[in-house]
Amino acid sequence: MLQVNFLRENKERVIEGLNKRNFKQLSLVDDAIAADDDRKKYQFELDKNLTEMNKISKEIGILMKDGKKDEAESAKAKTAEFKENSQVLQQKLRDAEVKLQEILYLIPNIPYEKVVAGTSADDNEIVYQSHDVKGLGEGAIPHWELAKKYNLIDFELGVKIAGAGFPVYLGKGARLQRALVQYFLDKNVDAGYLEVNPPHVVNEASGYGTGQLPDKEGQMYFINEDNLYLIPTAEVPVTNIYRDVLLEEKDLPIKNTAFSQCYRREAGSYGAHVRGLNRLHQFEKVEIVRIEKPENSYAALEEMVEHVKGILTDLELPFRILRLCGGDMGFTSAMTYDFEVWSAAQEKWLEVSSVSNFETFQANRLKCRFRADGKTQLVHTLNGSAMALPRIMAALLENNQTEDGIKIPAKIAEYARFEKI
């Protein structure tokens, strides 16, 4: 969430940034400033009213002491009026604060200066590509057919148990999943990330803290009886570890990694692009989260990009890195890099990781600050997938198929304890 003072003092920059996103509700900036003006006005009137009420209250005691009973009674009547007026002003102040908060929740983050304007994925910038993919998919069959052929994943059984989008992994399919998770976690820990095992449900405050609420409420599974949400990513519980926390400068940077199941309703997703492992309601992912000093966050972002790049290189998959345009970035992000792997059989790129810097957007919601030289300021938060499993699995199966089976990359074979399916 952007701070209203930032909107007020940098209005031209904010409008320019929102235009980069192709954001249409530009009037929300003025609405937020107007709501803040109302809040300040009611706060001033309330403070003035309380000051007068306290002044008269002190005078009542003096008047009573001097025997001026009638004047004291008159003063008491005035005090009652001030008290009633204070209650009205307090309610107006609360309403103005709520209105301001609701407006601020609707304004997305401002893109970083390197982010280009754009309206869709077609406007994203390719900043790196590992392979020329022409001819890589000749004769390849899709992963859902390979999964059935080698008894690795049963999609129909998942439908029976839970519904579409909940596959059942079997035998070497399950072992390959487990090997990938362990490899990703070890790779992250070796890079200095502290492993965390968080809850897989979060409360409403946590959802608001990282920006899933109210923006993505319809995409989250909700447990009505307990007012809890199933997590869409480990980013949510891990980042919320630092909600309402005042850190010391010496504590930074903070680097965490976590494995979790992820749950997404994916409402409105239909068609060929959701077939097989392309889009699921439940999937496994390993996440990395960083809490940084503002001046270090973009260097940290580039470090995270290189880290994920190293993982994909180890997996021996054709991949590319894109810097997202303003119109394709998530609501909370200031800059995002997407990683995509080539699907040999489907002959298209599949997103497997997003690495983002949110600057102070999440930290302002989380009230996560650090203290340096006696002053406090908001931290910068970052996160990335390292990695999401379904499309990695799809690409591994499709890109490594041979006439006599599926070859497992050497780094993963060490964990899976088999070299071929």
Residues 116-154 pLDDT 10s: 999 999 999 999 999 998 877 888 999 999 999 999 999
3-class DSSP assignment, residue 291:
strand
Q: What is the model's pLDDT at position 270? A: 57
CATH-assigned architecture of domain 4-104? Orthogonal Bundle (1.10)
Q: What is the model's pLDDT at position 302? A: 98
Question: What residue ranges of the chain have pLDDT lower than 70?
Answer: 65, 267-273
- The DSSP letter of residue 287 is E
121-416 matches 4-104 in CATH topology: no
Where do the domains of the chain lie? 4-104, 121-416
Q: What is the model's pLDDT at position 197? A: 98
CA neighbor of 236 nearest in space, from 213, 254, 266, 218: 213
Q: What is the model's pLDDT at position 263? A: 97
Q: CA–CA separation, 48 vs 51, rounded Å? A: 5
Q: Which residues contact 250 (CB under 8 A, 6 or more apart)?
A: none
Fold classified for 121-416 = BirA Bifunctional Protein; domain 2 (3.30.930)
pLDDT tens readout for residues 318-351? 999 999 999 999 999 999 999 999 999 999 999 9
- CA dihedral for 183, 389, 240, 294, sign (positive or negative): positive
Q: What is the model's pLDDT at position 418? A: 97
For 230, phi then psi, to 5°, come to: -70, 140
Q: What is the model's pLDDT at position 267? A: 66
Note the pTM of the prediction, 2 decimals.
0.92
CB 409 within 8 A of CB 316: yes
